[in-house]
A and B are shown apart, each in its own frame.
Chain A
Amino acid sequence: MDKWIKFLEINASRIFDLTIEHAILVGAAILVALLIGVPLGIYLTTNDYLAETVLQIASVMLTIPSIALFGVMIPVFSIVNLGIGFVPAFVALVLYAQLPIIRNTYTAIRNVDPEMRDAAIGLGMKPIQRLFRVEIPNAFPVIMAGIRTAVVINIGIGVIAAYIGAGGLGVLITQGITRGDNYLIITGSVAVAILAMIADGFLIWIQKRYTPKSIAN
């Protein structure tokens, strides 16, 4: 234990830097995933046929082993000379985040009480007014749940990004494995877990803060 504490003291700033790197990679991926996934999820509620197809593709994507998906990214991005590093890892994470975000957005908007929607139309709201004033606010907790799942998945999968040179906490773990250094492995894993908990905690706070209190339960 003492040895580990010593190890932490020596490596503190490196661990911190890698954590930030990890967080930036995941954060950027989630941000882009949101910009794609939420509007797409909303759009799909108006197109049943497309919804089925898109949700299926997104499901399949999530079943691809992460290492394989990262592996595929390398040759693809090599074409534009970005085979390793941030970009392929980022793209892979964006793809992984899609399913929970699209699916939850789609389901949440879909499940808005039809009577409520009916009342909104009957009162003379335009579709866009209905979306922003009624549907999104009432769907918000479920959409947030999807985002939280995506973030936690991405923080975990982000570890693999180290294999394609994108840095992050995966670096500690991969190095630990190659060197047989348990301190590195444990430190990396714990840091990933803590990062995930902090991120989730933060998102729960946002969710609570912006969920109309009357629909919170």
Chain B
Amino acid sequence: MEASHAHAHDDHHHAPTGLARYFTTTNHKDIGSMYMWFSLIMFFVGGFMALVIRAELFQPGIQIVNPDVFNQLTTIHALVMIFGAVMPAFVGFANWQIPLMVGASDMAFARMNNWSFWLMPPAATLLVGSFLVPGGAAGSGWTLYPPLSIQGGISVDMTILAVHIMGASSIMGSINIITTILNMRAPGMTLMRMPMFVWTWLITAYLLIAVMPVLAGAVTMLLTDRHFGTHFFNAAGGGDPTMFMHIFWFFGHPEVYIMILPAFGIISHIIPTFARKQLFGYSSMVYATASIALLSFIVWGHHMFTVGMPAAGNLFFMYATMLIAVPTGVKVFNWIATMWRGSITFETPMLFAVGFVSLFTIGGFSGLVLAVTPVDITLHNTYYVVAHFHYVLFSGAIFSIMGGAYYWLPKWTGHMYDETLGKLHFWLTAISFNITFFPQHFLGLAGMPRRIPDYAPQFTEFNQISSIGAFLLGFSQLLFLYVVIKCIRGGAKAEAKAWEGAEGLEWTVPSPAPYHTFETPPQFH
């Protein structure tokens, strides 16, 4: 609470206090914090749905939810986690960190920034609230493939509207981020001297601007097919359900990189800090990020190998997808070379970073397996794919978010978090994560389809292990919440430069970062 007093003194503009402060704020730090809290709440909401799913899958048969509700849970779990938890968390980091890292006083369009955030709660309400309407939530899977999504009730329209709103929010956020980065850097900070997190977000923001309108187009066509007699995706009217898949995945694959590039950025700060050694291969990191982003536009077909594309199509998408593993590998090699002959310590952020490098790479391996068309055909829509994307999204994106939160919490709150509890949180998370998701590789290889509420008896054991792991994993996250709250309320005083090996402009301002920073641009060396 002392911290907020300090803020009030710094504030020369007599901003409103209490709740009104948050409704009207244009301050990047307030907005960043709101994004982070929003994301954490959504993480728990989506996590709750996941636990219901895992409870149902603990044994064969239908015990807890009926198959309709099961499908709704998998659909909304995914949408909530992608659009509600992972993406807003990275936007929260962007808000807090980009101005601090480039030495800007705030984001370029401060009012639009407020609007970008405040679009999110209504969208989330539509999404989660759709469980309450007649017929329940959308149950077509997060990919919303027609004709199944055409069959759904009003909840599908609510989902479409939510996607539109969140897309608008993302686009506004991206415009803000790009403008801030390109125009508001401290004198001396050339593009090729920008912090890695800023680079990855710059590229991510361009990806968002490129593909969110594509998704908006796809769901709008879905909406008009549903209500206004168009037949974009209806073969009987001259349309084609496959076209939806192409458009969706043209968005969808860049989207998965939208969820991982900022993570690469965060990890590229944590590892040098705790290895006390400069990031290895800065420029190849930038080029690798850019080539991943470019390649991500030409690989979408790897989600559609079982559609029955011509051989040439399958081959093209197979080669392109394999190619994307090369720059991804370069990143991993660079991180390891950064550790090499460093002076390494294992504070919680570093543990999450090492966890990230190890486990994300396993996700990369399974990605490579899935990139090979014939193998994908036998694994498509099985639990193998579920394992793959949780390795890249949970032990990738979410590990980086948690590591990043521990890393910058001292700067945000002015206190050091509880290191023992932080480490405990890491180990509980890393171990239960693997218990949950590693066996799903075996389930997928054995042929268990995804999105089924009930399964054949030979899949029982691995499902039980997975469910037990999931409950451990879920409840371990309460510890994270506790550590964060404890850190906000007090703890050892954080220095301006909270970590011995930390580099960058954000560590030149006091901790907690005052409400207004860099009102006169710093000189960057």
Same complex: no
